[in-house]
Amino acid sequence: MFKKAIKGDGKARIMLALLAVYISWGSTYLAIKIALEDFPPFFMMGIRFLAVGGGLYLFLRIRGASAPDFSHWINATMIGGLLLFGGSAGVAYAEQWVSSGLASLMIATTPLWAVIFAGIWKHRASRFEWAGLMLGFAGVAVLNLETDLRTHPVGSAALVIAAMSWAFGSVWSRRLKLPPGIMASAIEMVAGGALVLIVSLLSGERMTGTPGLYSIGAILYLAVFGSLVGFIAYIYLLEKVRPALATSYAYVNPVIAVLLGVWFAGEEITAKGISAMMIILTGVALVIIGQRD
């Protein structure tokens, strides 16, 4: 299955890209939670993406990369809006009320949504994929029995929208004209980060005090590993492999995120949460197994 999902590129590079996404994004849920102690969600995510994307863009231009044309920027704004505003910023917004571990479990449904949205472009789901979809969404139903999600329905809804937005953006990006290589990541972060900062401004977000060292360190970690390393690796995977393999981080990251939340933030995972995690991840595994060329 894994060999079939890889198309025309070195396996070692793809494995390294997968590993980078698994580790960097699995740890960002806890980093977001720490940063939220002193920073409002949209401002924190917007400044992170705009700073990294802008720096990367300038670096590539100095190195001689061609400037993206107008259509590139339009497409990057649409994809950046889906991935970074609807997806990443939606997670940060939800983590104001929901634990980092539970947030990661809800985002684990991203490959399930990717299968559904791929149907827009005539992808016919296999029996394994349909079984994975039904099992995965049954796990979401179990997950929503958790106190955090029942008590804070806005946070729960934001996570569902975030997973859908990220999945749709991932599938759609393969069909839009974007610059080659890392430049696509750079302009998507610039455009997406600018959109998130606009939302921050319009929503009236304000800093309430001087941020502490832990929060500042968390944002730096998010910028380097979540944005620079993780996002570039993810865009590379979207170009080289099928969307469901590119989004397979969703069944590795929750385990990392839950363990980090328990160990370092004192979060609790109940029997319902563990059951939901196993059901969702089994469903996602079936989706991956059911991928076709």
Q: Give the model confidence (pLDDT) of 86-123 as tens digits.
A: 999 999 999 999 989 889 888 888 888 888 898 888 77
pLDDT at 158 over 90: yes
Domain boundaries in the chain? 9-289
Q: What is the mean pLDDT of residues 201-220?
A: 92
Q: Tell me what pLDDT residue 147 has.
A: 67
State what percent of residues in the chain have pLDDT above 90.
Answer: 44
Q: Tell me what pLDDT residue 194 has.
A: 96
pLDDT 10s digits, 60-76:
999 999 999 999 999 99
Q: Band the pLDDT of 291: cuts 50, 70, 90.
A: low
Q: Tell me what pLDDT residue 293 has.
A: 42
pLDDT at 172 over 90: yes
Q: What is the mean pLDDT of the chain?
A: 86
Q: What is the mean pLDDT of residues 36-64?
A: 95
Of residues 172 and 288, which shows the higher confidence score?
Answer: 172
Range in 12-16, 119-123, 230-234, 265-269 with the lowest mean pLDDT: 119-123
pLDDT at 6 over 70: no
pLDDT at 7 over 50: no
pTM, whole model, 2 decimals? 0.84
d(CA 40, CA 262): 23
